[in-house]
Amino acid sequence: MTEELTWLTAFEISRRYARADLSPVEVVNQTLARAERLQPHFNFLVLSDPEGARAAARASEARWKKGEPLSPLDGVPTSIKDTTNVKGWPTRLGSHATDETPVTEDAPVVARLRAAGMAILGKTTTPEFGWKALTDSPLQGTTRSPWSLKHSPGGSSGGASAMTAAGVAPFNHGNDGGGSIRIPAAHTGLVGLKPSYGRIAQYPADGPFADVVSQGVLARSVLDTALALNATAGPDARDWRSLPADPRDYTVGLDDGVRGWKVGLSLDFGHVKADPDVRELVAAAARRFEALGAHVEDVGPLIEPLQNSFEPLWIGSFATRLRQIPSQLHGKLDPGFRAAAEKGLAITLADYAKAYEAKSKLARDMALWHRKYDLLLAPVTPTAAPPVETLYNSDAFPRWTKGAPYTLPCNLTGQPAASMPAGLTTAGLPVGLQIIGPPRADHLVLRAMRAYESAANWTWPLDRVLKTLAT
């Protein structure tokens, strides 16, 4: 794929489709070729559908020629994370405990991307059951970062982040139940919005994490993120938790800025201690908001450490999953997942209920805090991307202090939160700035993301990525 086409945003591709100086068939063919070439190095795909993607591209090209595209994203290629149902494909979730039976209907987010005319290339890698903030699994192996083959692209939407950062499609679907969009976005220098809980309908939505997961995309620009939210937001009768329909166009008002906003900065959010590089970069990123006219105030740790209150939800939910898996398959599970799930077998109903009470209190406390503050800024992760051989939730990399301590609060509260590139560590790896908005204020988070993007001078492709891609 030519460098020019590789790094185009979805918005730029759409504009060129409208001018008829670029065709969906051309873009999809070159995207498929690039994915095939890079797959052996990065392992971001678990299923590829060239015939289906090309058929979608041909249909899109016919619509553009008639001047009747289904949406601005008509004919733009993308992919779906393998935790999400795509009709006619299996959903393996990175696990030997699943099978190859094709599912019979699309998840709502997939149906909406199809309705927008997008060409779905295939399904991307995830850790087993999406359980951790790295992307490796017993079934599908290890996914690597375009920034460094020795490092993880994060997780659990690591296949999506690797594809996007490698220039394979301008954005790719992911979902976020504890940081699984924001963490890989931070580790690969991408834009990653976790929308408000319920903003994008989910189905099936009856698993143990159904009330904390949000659907979204990993992208290289805020405008693309807004276009994707336009295409995917909305309720579905199969998801009683989904928010009511909102006719809002999320691209409108993106450039209105943050002048006069009151912004809190919490480098120690939840009493987490980030690496010095991370703290320095996030503090510098926050100062950009002051330059943009916002008032930024250090608000301290703000909430209590999460582990004591919320570990029962995490490991108790894993135990629920474990009970559904035949015992003869337990030996094929990710050892880290199995250890956490087996520990969760001891969680009582009283433990679980107490954790849910704490979840409600956290949501209430944050909603009240946002009465005085328009935004909260924090790190996305305490460290830059860890090496691919890192054992998640081990003594060396505990979930509650290294894995997802900064991101999980917003899954528990349901409020919108995003990762934006904050810069590079001394080792040359990206760090993310987390932008957190009031409940259901996705438009305000996008507006803040765009303001920050305009001041940050972070443009694709980046030299280190190009060097890695060339090896």
The catalytic residue positions are 81, 156, 180
- Cis previous bond, 235, omega within 30: no
- Are 376 and 296 in contact by the 8 Å Cβ rule? The answer is no
Residues 6+ apart with CB under 8 A from 468: 145, 146, 147, 148, 149
Question: How far apart, in whole angstroms, are the C-alpha atoms of residue 419 and residue 416?
Answer: 11
Alpha helices in 20-167 (DSSP H): 24-42, 50-66, 108-115, 158-165
d(CA 53, CA 123): 12
- Cβ proximity of 468 and 147 under 8 Å: yes
Sequence length of the chain is: 471
Q: Strand pairing of 430-436 and 417-424?
A: antiparallel
Q: Are 81 and 37 in contact (CB under 8 A)?
A: no
Closest CA to 195 of 2, 372, 436: 436
Q: Per the omega criterion (within 30 degrees of 0), is the bond before 157 cis?
A: no
* Apex 127 CA angle, 267 and 105, nearest 5: 115
Tokens encoding 158: 């690591």
